[in-house]
Amino acid sequence: MKSITASAPGKLMLYGDHAVVYGKPCIVTAVDQRIYVTVHLNEKKGFHLDAPDLGVSGYIKDQKKLGKDEIPKAVAFIEHCYKRFLEKYPQSQGISVTTKSDFSSLFGFGSSSAVTVAFAKALTTLYEIELSNKELFDVCYQAVIDVQGVGSGFDIAAAIWGGTIYYVTPAKIVKPLTCHELPLVVGYTGIKADTTTLVRMVESLKQQEPRRIEHIFDQISNIVDTAFQAMNENDWEKAGELMNQNQELLRELQVSSVKIEQLITAAQQAGAYGAKLSGAGGGDCIIAICEKESMQHIGKAVENADGKHLQVQLHAQGVRIEK
């Protein structure tokens, strides 16, 4: 039977975390740690899924029950995406889906967004339905909102468009960065953060102090615009300084942590131009911007501060068909 495999990259937020949920811009880069999803039609009807890397094997669901009953978290994005797809393009035959991952979902590289995008691309290609990037985004973003209820969709956009992009939700603006090298060090805190909880926390902070928080978002928005320009000009010193300013505002949003600060300080003391948390905060990764020549040295400093230096390829290609 015909089968299609698609792959999509993970992501790292560079600037604009949290503010992007409230309509401000952010900058995100695609990380070349990919998730591969294979879809083929089956005779047995229903939705069959094997995602060993996500901890799910032999999962079966009747088409009429998609999105209902108990759904393992790792499967929820694919299942909701399939449900939305069938609402728009009804099909009687069932599908079998298998996934394979280059990376651990622990690092915060966005395994749910990558798996959703790779699945949607493989599925629509299998049925020979041609979607533009924006149409593919809309299907995937709807699934994210169905499952999480919150989120800017920046991770879905990074998985689709790839490279490094300036993004405004929901893909209202997607503008690629023109430079190709990103001298960034990535350090993992060893702590898995829960994005939804942190987004809700900022939401409640905003309810308590709307003016102060809105002012912080406005300042972050300015930083994103200036950083986009600095990066396009390869002005890493300026980009680093803006990273430090962005981190200061994230501290005010109370999403930093002791471990994040420990890794940031280590990177700065080892000569980075600037450093910040990446994503929701609470854990996951920090990023530090520096001269290309000092990347290994700064990576070592992060390791000495009890972090894990993740040597990943950034600015990666977006979703693609593998065979």
CA-to-CA separations, 131 to 100, 115, 145, 160, 176, in angstroms, rounded: 24, 17, 20, 12, 20
Q: How far is the CB of 227 from ligand PMV (least distance, A)?
A: 15
Of the residues 8, 9, 18, 115, which one makes contact with ligand PMV according to CB under 6 A: 18
Residue (17 or 53) nearer to ligand PMV, CB = 17
Q: How far is the CB of 214 from ligand PMV (least distance, A)?
A: 16
Q: How far is the CB of 29 from ligand PMV (least distance, A)?
A: 12
* CA-wise closest residue to 33 among 314, 243, 321, 237: 314
For residues 279 and 155, give the distance between their C-alpha atoms in angstroms, rounded to a whole number. 10
CA-to-CA separations, 22 to 221, 227, 253, in angstroms, rounded: 10, 19, 14
Residue (47 or 109) nearer to ligand PMV, CB = 109
199 lies in the site for ligand PMV, by CB under 6 A: yes
151 lies in the site for ligand PMV, by CB under 6 A: yes
17 lies in the site for ligand PMV, by CB under 6 A: yes
Among the residue ranges 16-24, 39-47, 51-59, 95-103, the one whose residues contact ligand PMV (CB under 6 A) = 16-24
Alpha carbon 279 to its chain's center? 8
170 lies in the site for ligand PMV, by CB under 6 A: no
For residues 175 and 318, give the distance between their C-alpha atoms in angstroms, rounded to a whole number. 14
* CA-wise closest residue to 16 among 250, 210, 203: 250
Site for ligand PMV in 256-285 (CB under 6 A): 279-280, 284
Of the residues 152, 189, 268, 294, which one makes contact with ligand PMV according to CB under 6 A: 152
Of the residues 21, 30, 147, 266, which one makes contact with ligand PMV according to CB under 6 A: 21
To the query of whether residue 50 is one of the catalytic residues in this protein, the response is: no
195 lies in the site for ligand PMV, by CB under 6 A: yes
Of the residues 4, 6, 8, 20, which one makes contact with ligand PMV according to CB under 6 A: 20
Ranges assigned E (strand) in 43-127: 47-51, 56-61, 94-101
| Structural tokens at position 135 | 């149409």
For residues 99 and 118, give the distance between their C-alpha atoms in angstroms, rounded to a whole number. 9
Name the residue with the smallest CB distance to ligand PMV: 279
Residue (51 or 157) nearer to ligand PMV, CB = 157
247 lies in the site for ligand PMV, by CB under 6 A: no
Residue (123 or 185) nearer to ligand PMV, CB = 185
Q: Please pick, among 32, 155, 225, 284, the residue that the annotation labels catalytic.
A: 155
Ranges assigned E (strand) in the chain: 3-15, 26-42, 47-51, 56-61, 94-101, 164-168, 173-176, 184-188, 274-278, 285-289, 308-310, 320-321
For residues 285 and 177, give the distance between their C-alpha atoms in angstroms, rounded to a whole number. 22
Cis peptide before 52 (omega within 30 of 0): no
How far the first Cα of the chain sits from its last, in Å, is: 14
Which residues bind to ligand PMV, rule: CB under 6 A? Answer: 13, 17-18, 20-21, 108, 110, 151-152, 154-155, 193, 195, 199, 279-280, 284
- Which residues carry out catalysis? 155
